[in-house]
């Protein structure tokens, strides 16, 4: 006898291409909340497309624009003075996102993914630690505003980022999830998000790490069947990270987030 198990769908952020000038102009003209800009547009539209998602998430690599523009002490991509963070627009984005869903998370590019050059400290560790301290303050303020958690996205992470940003409300996520990066992430957290194509790499690391929860990105029933060789159904979730404008991306993931399990 088979019973269908439905996996919850978690978002780890969304990118999306820039709208054309007319669409952006029409959107701004219809807004009642100001200020707003291209990042505000992407936040709102990405969440609108995540209506079927159980744990939605706004932000992604594009959110670098918001963070860099909120940093004081940075000029033309170079840190040239004591850095500080103006939280105004960051909290405005959070407020707008929470109007759509009270369970929403945010995806933040890792500090070194901001691609800011150090022209002030002259020391890699001091520079990275200072940016990480600003991130801790930013994430705390966002959580206080109601954001449920912070996904930290990067192709890879420095040891300082991993050590200083780990918490019960943060989640390191690498879209490529190479075995080396997965290992580094699992040194600091027991839950991980991994693309379905990298599931075999994760399974190969289970003798070294205690993995409590796994979100399998862009997965279908055959991928969940593979994951069930090592994990109980309640320890698995479906995941997504939208990299382009596909209106049916999240709907299709939701349709495929299941497996038929044999019960005797």
Q: State mean pLDDT over 234-257.
A: 93
**Whats the size of the chain, residue-wise?**
264
Domain hosting residue 135, numbered range: 2-262
Place of tokens 């279908």: 220
How far, in Å, CA of 63 to CA of 55, rounded?
Answer: 19
How far, in Å, CA of 78 to CA of 70, rounded?
Answer: 14
- pLDDT-derived band of residue 34, with 50, 70 and 90 as boundaries? low
Residue 246 has pLDDT above 90, yes or no: no
Q: State mean pLDDT over 221-230.
A: 96
Count of structural domains within the chain: 1
Residue 22 has pLDDT above 90, yes or no: no
How far, in Å, CA of 60 to CA of 75, rounded?
Answer: 23
How far, in Å, CA of 228 to CA of 222, rounded?
Answer: 10
- 150-207 pLDDT, tens digit per residue, is 999 999 999 999 999 999 999 999 999 999 999 999 999 999 999 999 999 999 999 9
What is the predicted pLDDT for the residue at 230? 95
Looking at the DSSP bridge assignments, the partners of residue 6 are 258
Ramachandran angles phi, psi of 215, nearest 5°: -105, 120
What is the predicted pLDDT for the residue at 33? 65
Q: Is the pTM for the entire model greater than 0.85?
A: yes
Q: Residue 248 burial (CB < 10 Å; 0-12/13-18/19+)? A: exposed
- pLDDT-derived band of residue 18, with 50, 70 and 90 as boundaries? confident
Looking at the DSSP bridge assignments, the partners of residue 205 are none
Q: Could you tell me the CA-to-CA distances from 131 to 44, 103, 114, 140, 181 in Å, in that order?
A: 27, 27, 10, 14, 21
- 166-180 pLDDT, tens digit per residue, is 999 999 999 999 999
- pLDDT-derived band of residue 32, with 50, 70 and 90 as boundaries? low
How far, in Å, CA of 249 to CA of 96, rounded?
Answer: 23
- pLDDT-derived band of residue 219, with 50, 70 and 90 as boundaries? very high
Residue 264 has pLDDT above 90, yes or no: no
CATH number assigned to the domain comprising residue 13: 3.20.20.210
Residue 5 has pLDDT above 80, yes or no: yes
Above pLDDT 90, what percent of the chain? Answer: 85
């Amino acid at each position: 006898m088979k019973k269908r198990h439905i996996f919850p769908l978690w978002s780890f952020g969304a990118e999306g291409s820039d709208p054309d000038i007319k669409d952006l102009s029409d959107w701004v003209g219809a807004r009642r909340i100001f200020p707003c800009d291209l990042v505000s547009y992407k936040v709102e539209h990405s969440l609108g497309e995540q209506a079927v998602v159980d744990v939605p998430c706004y932000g992604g690599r594009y959110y670098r624009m918001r963070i860099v523009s909120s940093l004081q002490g940075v000029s033309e991509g170079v840190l040239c003075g004591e850095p500080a963070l103006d939280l105004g627009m960051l909290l405005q984005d959070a407020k707008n996102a929470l109007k759509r869903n009270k369970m929403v998370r945010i995806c933040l590019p890792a500090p070194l993914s901001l691609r800011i050059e150090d022209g002030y400290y002259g020391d890699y560790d001091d520079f990275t630690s200072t940016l990480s301290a600003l991130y801790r303050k930013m994430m705390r303020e966002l959580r206080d505003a109601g954001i449920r958690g912070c996904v930290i996205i990067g192709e890879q992470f420095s040891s300082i980022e991993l050590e200083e940003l780990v918490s019960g409300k943060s989640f390191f996520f690498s879209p490529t999830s190479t075995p080396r990066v997965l290992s580094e992430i699992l040194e600091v957290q027991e839950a991980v998000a991994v693309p379905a194509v990298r599931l075999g790499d994760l399974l190969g690391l289970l003798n070294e790490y205690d993995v409590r929860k796994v979100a399998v990105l862009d997965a279908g029933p055959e991928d969940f069947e593979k994951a069930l060789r090592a994990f109980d159904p309640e320890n698995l979730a479906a995941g997504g990270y939208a990299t382009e404008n596909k209106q049916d991306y999240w709907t299709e993931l939701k349709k495929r987030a299941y497996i038929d399990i044999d019960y005797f």
